[in-house]
Structure formats: C-alpha cells, structure tokens
Amino acid sequence: MIYDLHAHSNASDGILSPEDLVARAKVRSVDVLALTDHDTTAGIRAASLAAKAAGLTFVAGIEFSTQWHKRGVHILGLNIDPGHDQLVEVVQEQHRRRLSRAHLIAERLDRLGMAGSLEGARRIAGSELIGRPHFARYLVEAGHVTSVAAAFKKYLGSGKVGDVAPDWLSMAEVIQVIRRAGGVATLAHPRKYNLTRSKICTLADHFKEEGGQGIEVISGTQTPEDTLDMVRIAERFGLCASAGSDFHMPDQPWQELGACGSLPSGCTPVWQLWQSH
Ligand code: AMP
Ligand code: MN
Ligand code: MN
Ligand code: MN
C-alpha cells in the first residue's frame, strides 16, 4: 500500500487542481492520499469526489501555519471534518492574517522598486489566500529574478526582506481545533525548521503535551538514517508516524507524489488512529 499524507493543490501553493492531483496520484499508484493545502480546505470537496471516482482512498487534511516560540511550525490536520464550525472559523482567521502579511510583503518589495506584487501574487493565487510562492512566481514573471528558487534566495526566504515575521495562531490553539474537528494533529517535516536535534525533541515534547498525536518521520525523499532518527523521536514522545511527499508540482523529484516510501516496520502508523474506528 502506498500512503501519501501530505500534498498540495492549487487551492494553496500547489500547481495542479485537486482533480489533476488525484489523477496523478492514481497514475503513480497511490492507494491513500491526503490533500493538505496551506490554511485552506477549499480543494477537499473536489479532490474527494475525484478520488471516489478513481477508486482511491482520500483523507481530508490541511496544513496549518502556526507559531511556536516565535518560530513558524507547520501542523497537519489529518482526517478532519472540513465543515466543523470552529475549524472553519480558524481557517478564516488564518486567511485574514495571510492577507495582512501579504500587504506587508508587497510594501517591502515595493520599496525595493518591485511594484505591483500584491496584485500579481493575488492573480497567480487565484484568491486572497496568498503565500510567498505566489510572490515568487510573480517576481519571475515580472523579470526581477530568473527562478522561484532565486526569488526565495534573494527576497522571500528566511531572513530576507519579504520574510515577514509570522503572526500565525499558536501551535497549541491549532492542535486543539484540529482535534475538535475530529482530526489527528501531525507535526509536519520536523527537520525543515533549522532546529538542532535537541530543539526538535523540545518541539516534539511540547507538541505531544498540547495534544499532538503524529509526526512526519518521512517528508519527501530523505536518507534511511534520517528516517530512523525521526522514528526514534516519534517513539520517545509517544507519537504515531506519518509519511508524505509534500508534493507541490511535477518535476521536483525530491517531492514527487507517492514517492516518499513506506514507514519502517515497527512504527505505529498515524492512520491507525482513524482506521480503528
Ligand atoms: P508561506 O506559506 O507563504 O509561508 O510560504 C511557504 C511555502 O513556500 C512553503 O510551503 C513552500 O511551498 C515554499 N517555499 C519555502 N521555501 C522555499 C524555497 N527556498 N524555494 C521554493 N519554495 C519555497
Ligand atoms: Mn507550500
Ligand atoms: Mn510545510
Ligand atoms: Mn506542505
């Protein structure tokens, strides 16, 4: 069985529509797919219908941007009820925060002589749910940089002018709302926060304490040693293991849909938490 429990559509910063994402999952022999767009559930209905037609098991998900000790940390809500009142409210609140952050990013880019980025990013996003990748694509389009990678390196990545300090909801609040909406809160890509191993452990400890239940022991392609190390952390803090590609678009071999591999034996998979009832 191929599980991929972390993937994006163009409802957030992915390239494929929810339907095309499901079609790609089918071609790549994925058996169980979770759609986990950033701070939105907008693609879930379309993806769920497409998955049903394709005979693929679908898991409704979301990837929340949250704050933990002034750091941005991503928390997946897996197997959520996307219509849950409080979840819907929190999603709306995140949209407001995303939009005001987008205004700040645009002001800063404007001051550097790159005008029109808010309108450009909004058009590329196709909604008000604007992320840094939409700014990056706009900067490429407007000829300010030659690639999305260069846009992050120069203007949007960590520590750069467009890396506006996050004002997301706290990790604890987000874990709570995921759980109320029937979901499993799962710590996304723990190795991508530039934390030392001991800081990752502190994060995992707090996450568990606040009601978190899962951790991505596999994110994209990574070495077996890194996977085993994450499995040890999962075991130490009593967290279930998850695996996801973090797919955003075709032609990125390190995050191809369904290519993250399976969990090492002995792990307690996160899906046991919803398959058991
Ligand atoms: P945001 O949600 O607006 O904070 O944007 C974060 C998103 O930007 C991530 O989910 C990635 O999809 C993308 N991203 C982050 N860093 C890079 C990078 N160096 N190059 C390309 N995309 C990136
Ligand atoms: Mn993204
Ligand atoms: Mn993420
Ligand atoms: Mn992601």
Rounded (10°) angle between helices 117-125 and 132-141:
110
The packing angle between helices 85-111 and 132-141, to 10°, is: 40
Nearest ligand to residue 61 Cα: 4
pLDDT 10s digits, 60-85: 999 999 999 999 999 999 999 999 99
Q: Which atom of ligand 1 is nearest to the CA of 158?
A: 16
Residue 110 token pair: 């404007």
User: Average pLDDT of 170-174?
Assistant: 98
Report the distance separating Cα 118 and Cα 234, nearest Å.
Answer: 40
Backbone angles phi, psi at 38, to 5 degrees: -65, 115
190 vs 244: CA distance, rounded Å: 12
Token pair 């005008």 is at which residue?
115
Token duo for residue 172: 């604890």
* pLDDT tens by residue, 93-150: 999 999 999 999 999 999 999 999 999 999 999 999 999 999 999 999 999 999 999 9
CA 237, 243, 249, 250 torsion-angle sign: positive
Q: For residue 132, how far is its CA from the centre of ligand 1 (angstroms)?
A: 6
Q: Give percent of the chain above pLDDT 70.
A: 100
**Band of the pLDDT at 166, cuts 50, 70, 90?**
confident
Per-residue model confidence (pLDDT) at position 195: 97
Alpha carbons 85 and 96: distance in angstroms, whole number: 17
CB of 132 sitting under 6 A from ligand 1: yes
Task: For ligand 1, say whether the CB of 61 is within 6 Å of any of its atoms.
Answer: no
pLDDT reported for residue 165: 80
Give residue-wise pLDDT tens across range 178-189. 999 999 999 999
CB of 13 closer than 6 A to ligand 1? yes
Q: Does ligand 1 come within 6 angstroms of the Cβ of 58?
A: no
* Residue 44: exposure state from Cβ atoms within 10 A (0-12, 13-18, ≥19): buried
* Beta carbon of 166 within 6 Å of any ligand 1 atom: no
pLDDT for 276 equals: 74
The pLDDT of residue 7: 98
CB of residue 152 inside a 6 A radius of ligand 1: yes
Edge-first strand listing for the sheet containing 32-35: 3-4, 32-35, 57-68, 71-78, 184-187, 214-219, 240-244
CA–CA distance, 264 with 2 (Å, rounded to integer): 13
Which amino acid appears at position 271 of this protein? W
Ligand closest to CA 104:
1
Return the residue whose CA atom lies nearest to atom 13 of ligand 1. Answer: 133
Per-residue model confidence as pLDDT tens digits over 217-273: 999 999 999 999 999 999 999 999 999 999 999 999 999 999 999 999 989 999 999
The finding on whether 65 has its CB within 6 A of some atom of ligand 1 is yes
Q: Which of 185, 244, 238, 241 is nearest to 215 (CA)?
A: 241
Residue type at position 20: D
Atom of ligand 1 nearest to the CA of 98: 3
For residue 170, the 8-state DSSP code is B
The number of angstroms, rounded, from the C-alpha of 205 to the middle of its chain's C-alpha atoms is 21
Nearest to 106 by CA among 63, 164, 173: 164
Given this model, what pLDDT does residue 277 score?
Answer: 59
- CA 134 to ligand 1: nearest atom: 3
